[in-house]
Amino acid sequence: MDVLLPILIVVVVLALIVGIYLWSTYNALVTLNVRVDEAWSDITVQLKRRADLIPNLIETVKGYASHERGVFEAVTKARAETLSAQGPADAAAAEGHMQAALKSIFAVAEAYPQLQASQNFLQLQAELVDTEDKIQAARRFYNGGVREFNTKILVFPNNMWARRLSFSKRDFFDVADAASIQEPPRVQF
């Protein structure tokens, strides 16, 4: 009996340590997962905000350059793609298309000095630049959360338990054509 008691205490203490470790690891992973979900939500809100600005921008430019139909169709298509994106990979592809479309609409606007002086156009430009800045900040926050979450899953000994606890790596919001989004569309004339 004297020999069993110390062994039993050691086993109970080890089981308690393992239990506390699993409990704290699980809670940390849940917290990080929720943070990544929140960050993704922030991105979708900003993408929606930008998509809501696009029809006003198109209408404003159309008033001056109605013959630029192809540009307007490209922007409208990119807007629809952004709104229908499911997950970071789709959103990243849509983001590249949106940046290219916005650059083309602003290139058209450069040819119309009276459009550049329009108060409505200037206000839309300012809102778009603000939204682009917010999208970039939201992307950085999201990718930081994904980095932290993925690291927590991959480090030893968490990597032995994370998959069993139904946690898997999350995708970064990477754009295929990184050069297309290095800077927001140029809206200064």
Q: Report yes or no: 68 and 61 within 8 Å, Cβ to Cβ.
A: yes
Cα 59 from Cα 105, distance rounded (Å):
11
List the domain boundaries for the chain. Answer: 4-181
State the 10-residue block means of pLDDT for the chain, 189 residues long: 84 94 92 94 91 85 74 85 86 86 82 77 85 91 94 90 87 70 50
Q: Which residue has the tokens 């690291």?
A: 151
pLDDT at 187: 47
Per-residue tokens: 56: 């006003």
Residue for token pair 């006003």: 56
Q: How far apart are CA 34 and CA 48, in angstroms?
A: 21
Q: What is the pLDDT of residue 176?
A: 65
Rg, Å, the chain Cα set? 25
- Predicted local distance difference test score (pLDDT) of residue 55: 86
Nearest to 187 by CA among 114, 127, 138, 98: 127
Residue 150 CB contacts under 8 Å (≥ 6 apart), including other chains: 169, 170
Which tokens sit at 102? 């916005």
pLDDT confidence of residue 182: 54
Indicate the DSSP class of residue 37: H
User: CATH fold of 4-181, please?
Assistant: de novo design (two linked rop proteins) (1.20.1440)
